[in-house]
Amino acid sequence: MTRPSRQPNPAHGQEPDGSSLPAAVLWDMDGTLIDSEKLWDVSLRELMAHLGAAELRQEVREALIGSNMRHTCEVLLAEADRPITPASVAETGRWLTERTRQLFATDLPWRPGAREALASVRAGGVRTALVTSTERELTEVALDTIGREFFDVTVCGDEVDGRNKPDPWPYLSAARLLGVDPRRCVAVEDSVTGSASAEAAGCVVLVVPCDAPVPSGPRRILRDSLVGVDIRVFGELLAVGVG
């Protein structure tokens, strides 16, 4: 978990025309900023072969979108009919992390509009956090592509005391580190698991589904992509989501 690295912009919170801005924008990573779920597809299917199992069933793959490493390993060991022990989960996690790290280091494409949306929020002086279920080691590889300078704080899947998404804790933790009210934040998510986490934390959630559909909800606003989403749009989304 990284701490805030810069002071709040005293001007943040309101545009010159008086319209409100979010207190912060909280970004999911996989499937939201970068199209890494496609790379997870590769490493997860290779892991199943490594475990001597049949193909990864599509419904199981979809259920793992937004999941954390320990849960993912437990599910795949069960699918492969292998014993689930602390040692087997740890060994499976090491294998999956290493293979995914190789893939992240060679090819990590952005989701449409994500880079521009991220840059617009940064340029607008609104505080930002990365809130990911991916562990720190892999997140750091991804940040080489995304850019660390875009985030005031980063919260990773191995830094939340096991209270991973869909628990609200990762988003609550990010808001606390930023010193902002989560109910004045917009979270950006692509998955059922992540959207549930952000919504339970009280955030307005901009949902841009990537690999699986996400149902609507009281504080959720669904869009097809992040193309055209800039700092002003985030202000409008907060107003709509808060109601």
Residue ranges binding Mg ion (CB under 5 A): 28, 30-31, 66, 190-191, 194
Question: 209 or 235, CB closer to Mg ion?
Answer: 209
Min separation Cβ 164 and Mg ion, Å: 12
Min separation Cβ 224 and Mg ion, Å: 16
Task: Please spell the DSSP secondary structure of 85-115, one letter per residue.
Answer: -HHHHHHHHHHHHHHHHHHHHH--PBPTTHH
- Of 241, 189, 185, 239, whose CA–CA distance to 215 is shortest? 189
Min separation Cβ 35 and Mg ion, Å: 10
Longest distance between any two alpha carbons in the chain, whole Å: 61
Min separation Cβ 27 and Mg ion, Å: 10
Q: Which residues contact 86 (CB under 8 A, 6 or more apart)?
A: none
Question: 66 or 182, CB closer to Mg ion?
Answer: 66
| 59, two tokens | 């419904």
CB atoms within 10 A of CB 217: 13
Min separation Cβ 208 and Mg ion, Å: 10
Question: 152 or 190, CB closer to Mg ion?
Answer: 190
Min separation Cβ 29 and Mg ion, Å: 7
Is residue 157 within 8 Å of residue 133, measured between CB atoms?
Answer: yes
Report how far Cα 73 is from the mean position of its chain's Cα atoms. Answer: 19
Is residue 83 within 8 Å of residue 77, measured between CB atoms?
Answer: yes
- Residue of this chain nearest to Mg ion (CB atom): 31
Question: 72 or 191, CB closer to Mg ion?
Answer: 191
Round to whole Å and give the CA distance between 164 and 115. 25
Min separation Cβ 192 and Mg ion, Å: 10
Query: Backbone dihedral region of 39: left (phi > 0), alpha (psi from -120 to 50 degrees) or beta?
Result: alpha
- Of 193, 147, 178, whose CA–CA distance to 207 is shortest? 193
Question: 97 or 191, CB closer to Mg ion?
Answer: 191
